Amino acid sequence: MRTSSPRHRQDSGFTLVEMVLAITITGIIGAVVVTFMANSAEGLATAQNRNQLASAGRVAIDRIAVEIHNALPGSIRTTTATAGGDQCLEFIPVEVATSYINPPFTSTGTTFNIVDIYDNAAVIHPSAPPTLYGVIYPRRANQLYNGDNGASTGWPNFPVRGPIEQISSIADDAATAGQSTVTLTTSHRYRRRSPFQRFFVVSDPVSYCVVGDKLYRYGNYGFYQTQVTQEEETGVCEVALNQTCLPNYDAAPDKMLIVDNIDNTGLTAFTIGAQSLRRNALLLIQLTLTDNGDTVELTHEVLSRSVP
């Protein structure tokens, strides 16, 4: 019978040092792999979170931009930003525009003609929302927003002479083709003639406000000469009692949450550039969104029409 030599028996197994070394190397490789996978997963989660923040902010900015493009010239105004970043942007939306024919400029009146703006409509009666207003040559925001002109009842109470008045109805002029008759709610005298005879039909003002970590859109609250930033605590804004407030209704569309997770501390969300009769202005929008330690800063410029 043949037996193995001592040398052959030593070469057939692993020594304790070799086993410890193999375990150590395997542990190091495993730790590296686990760390890599953890970092990759964390990076993916961070990227997804930032993408969600950027998408939400972009949707909010795009919505503001679309509405600003349709804002009445001279109607865009902002409040002063607080240290925490709270601020409001306000403007008057244009529903439609055309040319006027014979509005009252030298004396008060309630009816006048415009070039047709509605096809196949015998009568447009804005008794239901949105309430409509007729504007000629808007130049100053304080004149456009003066709907609380000392009124305690019968709001809005625009001055008898000014660039804006509430519309009662718009009807086709049966006697003159291509023209419509505008009837104002009260007797009015427009302040100045427009160089291009432009007539704007607008609706109630709209505000976008950064409040804490949220951006809200407010509507259906009326015209106030002093820009309003406070909400009505009870949820009802009683204009007849001269309560100047933004709506705090639970349901849309008077108050709508546009985006949350905002941190605009030390920033100005809305900055409107200088406007003139010959030059449009730029609205600068800055929003910082943060969530779970991730931060996305968004800056966007919107061209606003300033020439009436």
Residue 63's SS3 state is: helix
Query: Residue 278: which H helix or E strand, with range?
Result: none
Per-residue pLDDT at 77 exceeds 60: yes
Task: Kindly report whether the peptide bond that precedes residue 156 is cis, defined as omega within 30 degrees of 0.
Answer: yes
Average pLDDT, the chain: 82
Q: What is the pLDDT of residue 121?
A: 54
Pick 277 or 157 by higher pLDDT: 157
Q: How confident is the model at residue 183 (pLDDT cuts 50, 70, 90)?
A: very high
pLDDT attached to residue 40: 62
Segment 77-104 mean pLDDT: 94
pLDDT greater than 70 at residue 25: yes
Q: For residue 48, what pLDDT band results from cuts at 50, 70 and 90?
A: confident
**Domain segments of the chain: what residues?**
49-92+204-304, 94-202
For residue 97 the two structure tokens come to 């525009």
> For the purposes of burial, counting CB atoms within 10 Å of the CB of 97, is it exposed (0-12), middle (13-18) or buried (19 or more)?
middle
Confidence at residue 234, expressed as pLDDT on a 0 to 100 scale: 65
Tens digit of each residue's pLDDT (9 = 90 or more) over 235-257: 666 655 666 788 876 656 788 99
C-beta of residue 170 within 8 angstroms of C-beta of residue 134: no
Q: State what percent of residues in the chain have pLDDT above 90.
A: 42
| pLDDT above 90 (res 171) | no
> Which pLDDT band, with edges at 50, 70 and 90, does 129 fall under?
low
Mean pLDDT value of segment 163-167: 94
pLDDT average, residue stretch 286-292: 89
The per-residue pLDDT for 194 is: 92
